Amino acid sequence: MSEQIATFDMRAPWRRVLLLLPVIIVLVCLWYVGRWCLGDTMGEWLPDAGAARVATELSPADPQAHFTLARLAERSFEPEQLTEAVSQYEQATALSPNDYRLWFQLGKARGLAGDDAGAEQAFSRAIELAPNYPEPRWYLGNLLLRAGRVDEAFAEFRRVCDEDPVKFRPQVFDLAWHIFNADVQQVLAATGDTTEARAGLAEYLLKQQHIEDALRLWSNFNGAQKQEQRATGEQIVQTLLAAKRYHAALDVQRGLTGQGQSSVPAEDALLNGSFEAPVGPSGKTWYDWQVTPVTQAQINLDERQRHSGGRSLRLVFNVSNPLDFHHVAQLVVVAPQTRYHLSWFVRTEDLKSASTLVTEVLDASDQTRVLASSAPLAAGSSDWQESGLDFTTGAQTEAINVRLTRPPCAQALCPLFGKVWYDDFNLQRLDARAASEHGSDRAAGSATPAPAR
């Protein structure tokens, strides 16, 4: 069986053209694709008006090239350049009508050019394409507000706050605050009466130092809403404490924590007096004991030595140089013009110093005002002994600080060595009968040692 080879005569001109046709088509396609890619790349990566214009000539149907040229023209703020920017944005949106970013930029450019109606139409189209993006609504709201269409503007602003409350809600409150002349009810009605909006407005009012208005908003929340908006409540507590409004702060804190929970004391109650619960570093909590670390002393809980319960507070000192010690303290909310008795138990071991520890009660609103101070601890060792002091709060006193401190030394070298344990701190309000009994045998501000137990 012989093989046959087919041959074609390509000498005919039409056959040669037919053979070159695919190559020509490929080259034409490469030319157009290359122009498009080059124009798109130049439009995106070369921030120059000349390059952008060349890009629009290379790829006139590419929205990116027109977008870049429009952005460059817009930045000049010249009237003729703004007109050019609007024209280029319009061409970009015509080439890519479903890209909300192009409509958004077109709306901004039209607004700068004074075409409010065109800007509104462009912003509305951008919102239609991307309803969950806040920026087009924000610009539309501002446009409506400048036109005096306040209700429509704040309808957009409310949607903006729902989408991005952290970024936009403070700005919306600021606008409403000035437009409605600081009328809280009108601001609330304009910005939304949801729990989140009310909590945000309360935070805004705190920053404006309208504390009473913020408290009124907070007081209208139920228990579940207060837990849901806990961060706002904590800001209110911090603001009230900074303003030295300790009773109001305690009320808000109690609403955040719940009645009967041990982390929030009642008025006149010293928390964790027997140190059964852990003690926290300074600033971790507004109530309970706060302990500030110090290199020349060890401060921790001790389960081996205690007067009652399972723990006591132990302080170990190894101080060669003078030490201004006031690193253990607790804030206690109290009543004004009221007499109190503070008691505690203390134990010492090998205590050596010319200046040992005392227990002080200070007015929390004026840390320089000492309401009472105990006698310094005696040097040496002693088993558990009860000590105490009486004090009377001032007319404006809302809280006290109970703290362990070391008085200044009278000499340059004043070392402090040894161990001290504290336990069972207790604060009692003295009624008329108790006050007279204590007054007969116990001077205010003096320590009252009792037999060891």
Three-class DSSP labels, the chain: CCCCCCCCCCCCHHHHHHHHHHHHHHHHHHHHHHHHHHHHHHHHHCCCHHHHHHHHHHCCCCHHHHHHHHHHHHCCCCHHHHHHHHHHHHHHHHHCCCCHHHHHHHHHHHHHCCCHHHHHHHHHHHHHHCCCCHHHHHHHHHHHHHCCCHHHHHHHHHHHHHHCHHHHHHHHHHHHHHHCCCCHHHHHHHHCCCHHHHHHHHHHHHHCCCHHHHHHHHHCCCHHHHHHCHHHHHHHHHHHHHCCCHHHHHHHHHHHHCCCCCCCCCCCCCCCCCCCCCCEECCCCCCCEEECCECCEEEEEECCCCCCCCCEEEEEEEECCCCCCCCEEEEEECCCCCEEEEEEEEEEEEEEECCCCEEEEEECCEEEEEEEECCCCCCEEEEEEEEEEEEECCCCCCEEEEEEECCCCCCCCCCEEEEEEEEEEEEEECCHHHHHHHHHHCCCCCCCCCCCC
Strands 358-363, 312-319: parallel, antiparallel or unpaired by DSSP? unpaired
Residue 14 has pLDDT above 70, yes or no: no
Residue-level pLDDT at 56: 53
pLDDT at 64: 74
- 69 pLDDT exceeds 80? no
Was domain 194-262 assigned CATH 2.60.40? no
pLDDT at 128 over 80: yes
Cβ-contact 318, 349 below 8 angstroms: no
Residue 411's pLDDT band (cuts 50, 70, 90): confident
What confidence category does residue 13 fall into, taking pLDDT thresholds of 50, 70 and 90? low
> pLDDT tens for residues 75-105?
766 677 788 888 888 988 988 899 999 999 9
Going by pLDDT thresholds of 50, 70 and 90, the confidence category of residue 12 is low
Q: For the domain bounded by 280-441, which CATH number is listed?
A: 2.60.120.260
Task: Pick the closest to residue 211 from 235, 193, 231, 228 (CA basis).
Answer: 235
User: What's the confidence (pLDDT) of residue 177?
Assistant: 94
pLDDT given at position 370: 94
Q: Among the listed ranges 46-50, 62-66, 310-314, 445-449, which one has the minimum average pLDDT value? A: 445-449
- Whether residue 217 is predicted with pLDDT greater than 90 in this model: the reply is yes
Whether 423 shows a pLDDT value over 60: the answer reads: yes
Domain limits, the chain? 194-262, 280-441
> Is the entire prediction scored with pTM above 0.75?
no
Residue 322 has pLDDT above 70, yes or no: no
pLDDT at 313 over 50: yes
Overall average pLDDT of the 261-269 stretch: 75
391, 339 in Cβ contact below 8 A? yes
- Cα(422)–Cα(382) distance, rounded to whole angstroms? 12
Q: 319-323, 345-349, 360-364: which has the minimum mean pLDDT?
A: 319-323
pLDDT above 90 covers a percentage of the chain that reads: 53
